[in-house]
Amino acid sequence: MIEVNDIHKSFGESEILKGVTTQFEKGKTNLIIGQSGSGKTVFLKCLLGLFEPEEGSICYDGRTYSSLSGDEKRDLRQEMGMVFQGSALFDSMTVEGNVTFPLEMFTKQSKSEMQDRVNIVLKRVNLIDAHNKYPSEISGGMQKRVAIARAIVMNPKYLFCDEPNSGLDPKTAILIDNLIQEITEEYDITTVINTHDMNSVMEIGQKILFLKNGLKEWEGTNKEIFKTDNAAVTDFVYSSELFKKVRQMYIEERN
Ligand X SMILES: Nc1ncnc2c1ncn2[C@@H]1O[C@H](COP(=O)(O)OP(=O)(O)OP(=O)(O)O)[C@@H](O)[C@H]1O
11 binds ligand X (CB under 6 A): yes
**What's the one-letter identity of residue 175?**
L
CA distance 95 to 137: 10
Least distance to ligand X, CB of residue 50, Å? 10
Region near ligand X per CB under 6 A, out of 30-38, 54-62, 107-115, 177-185? 30-38
Contact 141, 81 (CB under 8 A): no
* DSSP codes, 19-56: EEEEEE-TTSEEEEE-STTSSHHHHHHHHTTSS--SEE
Separation of alpha carbons 43 and 45, rounded Å: 5
* Least distance between ligand X and beta carbon 36 (Å): 3
Shortest distance in whole angstroms from residue 137 CB to ligand X: 30
Build a one-symbol-per-residue string for 197-226: x at contacts with ligand X by CB under 6 A, - elsewhere. Answer: ------------------------------
Q: Which of 127, 129, 177 is nearest to 150 (CA)?
A: 127
* Contacting range for ligand X; rule: CB under 6 A; set: 40-48, 53-61, 132-140, 246-254: 40-48
Work out whether 16 is an interface residue with ligand X (CB under 6 A).
yes
Nearer to ligand X, 39 or 102 (CB): 39
38 in contact with ligand X (CB under 6 A): yes
Nearest to 85 by CA among 168, 23, 10: 168
Question: Is 145 or 207 the residue whose CB approaches ligand X more closely?
Answer: 207
Distance CA 179, CA 23 (A): 23
Pick the closer one to ligand X by CB: 85 or 115.
Answer: 85
User: Which DSSP category does 124 fall into?
Assistant: H
Q: Which residues contact 155 (CB under 8 A, 6 or more apart)?
A: 187
Residue from 33, 42, 103, 130 in contact with ligand X (CB under 6 A): 42
Told to check if 37 binds ligand X by CB under 6 A, we report yes
Give the binding site for ligand X (CB under 6 A). 11, 16, 34, 36-42
